[in-house]
Amino acid sequence: MTNIPASLQAIIDQVKTAFPGEEKLHEMFAQCFVNTYSTTLKHLDDGTTFVITGDIPAMWLRDSAAQVRPYLMAANDDPAIKEMLLGVVNRQIQFVLHDPYANAFNDSANGKGHQTDQTEMTPWIWERKYEVDSLCYPIQLAYLLWKSTGDTSHLNADFHEAIRTIVKVWKIEQDHEQNSSYRFERTEDRPQDTLIRDGKGSKVVPTGMTWSAFRPSDDACTYGYLVPANMFASVVMGYAAEICQTVLQDEELGKECAALGQEIRDGIETHAVIDHPMYGKIYAYEVDGAGGYQLMDDANVPSLMSAPYLGYCDFDDEIYQNTRNFILSRDNPYYYEGKAASGIGSPHTPDHYIWHIALSVQGMTSIDQKEKEALLRTLLNTDGGTGFMHEGFNASNPEEFTREWFAWSNTMFSEFVLSYIGKTVQGSPLNEKK
């Protein structure tokens, strides 16, 4: 590895000091930690930063925020890292203002991506799958950048307009059936890549939650209210309210954000808490507001597993712990056990494939030190001999995996290792957990 900033190298050195003699951990952490920095960043002519996911040359709002998140730990001491992060936020905000319903974008108006999808595409858009979390992540990153550095230059007029836009969209999608014009159909690929009912999606009734077409896996929702995404939305509305009131001096919009966040939370607690005969009160993964619900979890974040990591609840919250017991059991249809590992996978990847992201999130949300240690060892032992994390891997044969170059997964492993030694992002729930 060459040209690694001193600020990032200092963090690598801290991990080496914390784990004396663990050469594989040293090498894997260093490789995974700098992967996003070394391979996925592109500085555009307008001063913004474009971030590809790795093996796909597009910028996902979700992935890009998560990919750069650990670099916040260096931003206060390294002006170049801070400028790069400011560039990421500013680029994300431009994309949100271009189309708040799109999840992934091109680095120019080049017309790449899924241009034949039946939805309102533009040459800037790689994919227009509406995912609630795509609007959560830019707010989260902007908030944490402010808390980490004190810089407010990114909380500007464009950011102000983006908050107005997000609030407007989420309010429209509180009654998707009556108020939304969003439609999405894809005729090729898998059934999970399109919406039923001529692109409108399965029917929902109002609950206070906001509707999502797709999950963070980019798979279509079975029911329209994706509970983990709504958890995230309720949290970032709190962030937005604080930014509006403290930085943007917009008391009215701040109150609107806070009220919307509370409506969403009330909707979750009223409609998404299920009485399970074995586990007690647990959160459903998706609901429709009319009695339909799905009990499962998916590896992608936001997930039910990630609820306290995102800041929705305390790490020891009773309903969360009940939910955690459920999703880490065979009663979760996407929990797999194999010769090499046990953990959560996704309908997005093959049966019996566990995701490294899910293992990292399980580690960061655990309140049991022995569980954390076991998960760290599992991650080190399931790299398939590559020194990197992947998307999904065969629970009994880690040499079989999907996505050799998946920067988000490498970042999540890095953040878990750093949290393990007490190093966390300022302003994040993990920081408060310490």
221 contacts: CB under 8 Å, gap ≥ 6? 201, 202, 212, 213, 214, 215, 286
Instruction: Say if residue 206's pLDDT is above 70.
Output: yes
- Name which of 63, 69, 13, 2 is nearest 38 in CA terms: 2
Distances (CA, A) of 59 to 1, 66, 91, 247, 325: 24, 12, 10, 28, 34
Confidence of residue 432 (pLDDT cuts 50, 70, 90): confident
Domain boundaries, given as residue ranges, for the chain: 22-429
The whole-number average pLDDT for the span 257-264 is 98
- Name which of 344, 330, 411 is nearest 378 in CA terms: 344
The whole-number average pLDDT for the span 389-407 is 94
Q: Are 160 and 97 in contact (CB under 8 A)?
A: no
At 373-391, the pLDDT tens digits run: 999 999 999 999 999 999 9
Collapse the DSSP code of 395 into the 3-class scheme (helix H, G, I; strand E, B; otherwise coil) and give the result: coil
Q: Is 146 exposed, middle or buried (0-12, 13-18, 19+ CB in 10 A)?
A: buried
Confidence of residue 2 (pLDDT cuts 50, 70, 90): low
Q: What pLDDT, on the 0 to 100 scale, is given for residue 74? A: 98
CATH class of the 22-429 domain in this structure: mainly alpha
Q: What pLDDT, on the 0 to 100 scale, is given for residue 434? A: 61
Confidence of residue 431 (pLDDT cuts 50, 70, 90): confident
Q: Check residue 175 and report its DSSP letter.
A: G
At 154-201, the pLDDT tens digits run: 999 999 999 999 999 999 999 999 999 999 999 877 889 999 999 999
